[in-house]
Amino acid sequence: MTSPRTQAARRTRIAELLGARSIHSQEELRAILADEGYLVTQATVSRDLLDLRAAKVPDASGLSVYVLPEGDDAAPAEAGHARSEMARLARTVHDMVVSVDHSGNIVVARTPPGGASYVASAIDRARWDAVLGTVAGDDTVLIVSRDALGGQALAAELMAMASGRAPAAAGVPRGVAR
């Protein structure tokens, strides 16, 4: 499968590269990206790293390498980040969702005009294990449950969040131990 050479695709690839190998400089990363068809300047790489919140830290040999804060080497930090994203999701749903309905593995959440993308983004960022994916319109979010009959449970979770109650165990994001 080929991917488009968009900013989002490039940043996803950078995150994959930083998780898979030691990259010591922006120029090294730029060269790897160029080999893969991403022709970018050093300034673009610098902005990408900044937006991804990459940091340079010493590796085992004492050389500086780029890492992401949610990397596999930082599982406790990732768990904390995931929990904070679920808390953000709960606040967002409480503030923005006006109704929820479901059928099979599909949930439809309604928001005020213009709010759907914000809600969908919060769901996506939370990496909610029960959610396969989202699609946002102007005031409607389509949420696909990972479970073929999980729409009802997912809708109940969203309604609980909309009512101001904390997410239940089903709301634990991927990668966080229950």
Residues 42 and 87 in one domain: no
pLDDT tens string 107-164: 999 988 888 888 998 898 888 889 999 999 989 999 999 999 999 999 999 999 998 8
Residues 79 and 62 in one domain: no
**Tell me, what CATH number does 17's domain have?**
1.10.10.10
| CB-count burial class (<10 Å; 0-12, 13-18, 19+) for 4 | exposed
- The answer as to whether 177 is a domain residue is no
Contacts (Cβ under 8 Å, ≥6 apart) of 114: 138, 139
**CA–CA dist 137, 85 (Å, integer):** 22
Count of structural domains, the chain: 2
Residues 93 and 56 in one domain: no
Residues 27 and 100 in one domain: no
Residues 53 and 80 in one domain: no
**CA–CA dist 2, 163 (Å, integer):** 43
**Per-residue confidence band for 1, with pLDDT thresholds at 50, 70 and 90:** very low
pLDDT tens string 19-55: 888 899 999 999 999 999 999 999 999 989 988 888 8
The whole domain housing 161 covers 75-167
